[in-house]
Amino acid sequence: MDEINVLQFAEYKRERRKITAITAYDAPFAKIMEEAGIDLVLVGDSVGMAVHGRPDTLSVTMEEMILHGRSVASAVTRPFVAVDMPYMTFQASKELAAQNAVRLVKETGAKAVKVEGGVKVASAIRAIVEAGVPVIGHAGLLPQSVHEIGGYKAQGTTAQSARVVMEDALAAEEAGAFMVVLEAIPAELGRSITGALGIPAIGIGAGPHCDGQILVMHDMLGLSTGRLPRFVKTYANLREQAVAAARKYADEVRSGAFPTDEHSYHAKNEGEGRK
Ligand code: KIV
């Protein structure tokens, strides 16, 4: 199986071949995404909410990203694996940004990192790229800035805010990013930014004109609870299926229907031998 490398994404954009991306946080689900033919698996800091049940992504640590990143990167061959840089691991100084990015790829086996922001983090992006680590930028709704922007709201909905999102995406490209994620912005703005960028733009709530799409795996598979953003499409209802399966198991344990002889061991001298 050929591994996807950083150069192929530029080729996909040139060929207008849509890039498929999804988040994953552990080996079994990463393998499922590989089997499904997903191009890019992002170990997002959304792990803090999707897996650890926290209210936001701000408390996610380097150690947590390394643990989840290593599980994903070691499980797959073909998809390109990128890991999110947690809050405050790249904002304070470009030296710290480069150090943390190198640590993330060295200790996980991922091929790239993602940083939230554009203009404000351009020097960090440049330093990470100079250290030899490919970078994905992220413009529009920046979950790590949730308190600054007053909630998980669509961005770029006014002329001035649209300019800020466009400038962030362009600044990420200018600083050396090879791809930009555009989150929760009007579809028309998604189209303009995708057209203005030489690098691929991957949308999550940025309309159909981006070079590719990404969703949070737990949302897409119906594993999340609570209200989902407008941009989510749920393709399965795994939570319902899991609850039904666990309920059936509990009923069978209570009634004695499980385990049966089929699931039991026997001593060798008891006829059938070890199962
Ligand atoms: O953390 C994450 O999962 C992300 C995606 C929403 C792009 O940044």
Domain match, 206 and 251 both: no
DSSP character string of 177-216: -SEEEEES--HHHHHHHHHH-SS-EEEESS-TTSSEEEE-
Atom in ligand 1 nearest the alpha carbon of residue 44? 1
pLDDT of 9 above 60: yes
| pLDDT > 90: percent of the chain | 96
Residue in 136, 191, 140 with CA at minimum distance from that of residue 162: 140
Domain match, 172 and 67 both: yes
pLDDT tens digits, one per residue of 79-128: 999 999 999 999 999 999 999 999 999 999 999 999 999 999 999 999 99
Domain match, 253 and 171 both: no
φ, ψ of residue 88 to 5 degrees: the values are 65, 20
Domain extent at residue 152: 6-236
Domain match, 172 and 247 both: no
| 4 band by pLDDT with thresholds 50, 70 and 90 | very high
Q: How many domains does the chain have?
A: 2
Strands (E), 85-188: 112-114, 135-140, 179-183
Active site residues: 183
User: Is 275 or 137 the better-scoring residue by pLDDT?
Assistant: 137
Domain match, 190 and 247 both: no
User: Quick check: CB of 216 below 6 Å from ligand 1?
Assistant: yes
Averaged confidence pLDDT in the chain: 96
Residue 78 in contact with residue 3, Cβ under 8 Å? yes
Domain match, 130 and 259 both: no
What is the helix (H) or strand (E) element at residue 204, kind and residue range? strand 201-204
- Cα(184) to ligand 1 centroid in Å equals 11
pLDDT of 272 above 60: no
Domain match, 250 and 181 both: no
Domain match, 223 and 252 both: no
| 270 band by pLDDT with thresholds 50, 70 and 90 | low
Question: What CATH number is attached to the domain comprising 41?
Answer: 3.20.20.60
Q: Is 218 inside any structural domain?
A: yes
Q: Is 260 inside any structural domain?
A: yes
